[in-house]
A = this chain, B = another copy of it.
Amino acid sequence: MASSPRTNRRSAKPPTAGTDKVTIRDVALRAGVSTATVSRALNRPDKVRAATRERILKVVEETHFVYDGIAVSMISRRSRTIGLIIPTIMNSIYAASTQSIQRAAQAGGYTVLLGVSEFSPKQEAVLAQRLLERRVDGLILTGGNHDPSLIKKIRANGVPFLITWKLMRDQDWPSVSFDNYKAARAAVDFLVSLGHRRLGLVCGRTDVNDRALDRRRAFEDCLQRHGLSTNPALIHERDFEMEEGASAMAAMLDTPEPPTAVFCANDIQAIGALSLCRERGLEVPGDISIVGFDDLPATSYTRPKLTTVRVPAHDMGRRAAEIMIASIERRTPVQSVELQTELIVRETTAPPGRRVF
């Protein structure tokens, strides 16, 4: 809007002008060669005579020339860029996969364009549109809950994408993830196997988070499978805050028949819940057992140490990025991968019944 691109500032520019952007043309001029030769000196050094190359490289050095990846993208029709959308970065479990994605992308010569959707498919769609406009070569999404028109657009634009944090059975939705349902089932089965009969659940909001939904379903199915009743007062969907875990736990304890074990479908809430129990003078696991989910580093530093489900966040991130890059470069469909989880039994779980409520 400010200046017309028509105005040819360059031709009027003295050879050593201010901080104006230096282009390959400037370098060519100063080195007394054509732009083609500069380009070759930079990309295929063996294709230009040593003397010329050195002269060019010197000018590049002097002028701090940085080649314009945008122009290159224009020609090559690849941006060497991967779009990543996560629901939040504040839960360090997403930070973990993000860091691994970023690292693997960088290793492969790609840069990560980051979007944070804050659990809103709508906002995600806006974000993703922007990433598509930036011509990302691939798109890594979180979970399976997306605006349908977004997915259509991604497909129409031929941009490879994959899902993390949620195992998709659907062939058309490649995913690199573990199985939330299976992982949660293992946790709940473990509590039942310890003898617990009154179980509580704290999880994320299933309306905006299909991973939370998988885990909740696993919980409910488990109870049913074992012939246990599900008490709605013992199921709480909350945001990912320690505070929320604490208040959910408080609500359950204030119930006529409090649970003897609580499955918190993520560690953040579990830490809050655990903290509240101790504040109320309850023994964990003597009075009540708690299982978390994610295996955050902090879970080894709670008192007592938290039993939880270890999730392959780093591995998932790395694999996702590698698979994405392979798909981009080989122009091949994205490969789905299922990763495994592991129940880490620490100190917050025991058979029930030491105290009667």
Contact = CB atoms under 8 A, between A and B. Distances in A.
Interface in A225-256: 241-242, 246
B271 A157 contact: no
Given A95-B95, A114-B112, A298 B158 contact: no
B99 A90 contact: yes
A217 interface: no
Interface stretch (A47-55, A124-132, A184-192): A124-132
A157 B111 contact: no
Nearest to A62: B156
A352 interface: no
Q: Is the interface of A mostly helix, strand, loop or mixed?
A: helix
A161 to B, nearest CB: 13
Given A99-B89, A116-B99, A298-B298, A70 B19 contact: no
Interface string A80-120: 01000000111010011011001100100001111110000
A297 B116 CA distance: 20
A111 B131 contact: yes
A20 B158 contact: yes
A64 B5 contact: no
Given A67-B133, A90-B96, A113-B113, 8 more contacts: A5-B75, A64-B152, A69-B134, A69-B135, A89-B95, A92-B95, A102-B115, A103-B116
Sorted nearest first, the 9 A-B pairs with minimum C-beta distance are A64-B156, A69-B133, A19-B158, A275-B301, A114-B114, A89-B95, A89-B99, A66-B132, A64-B153
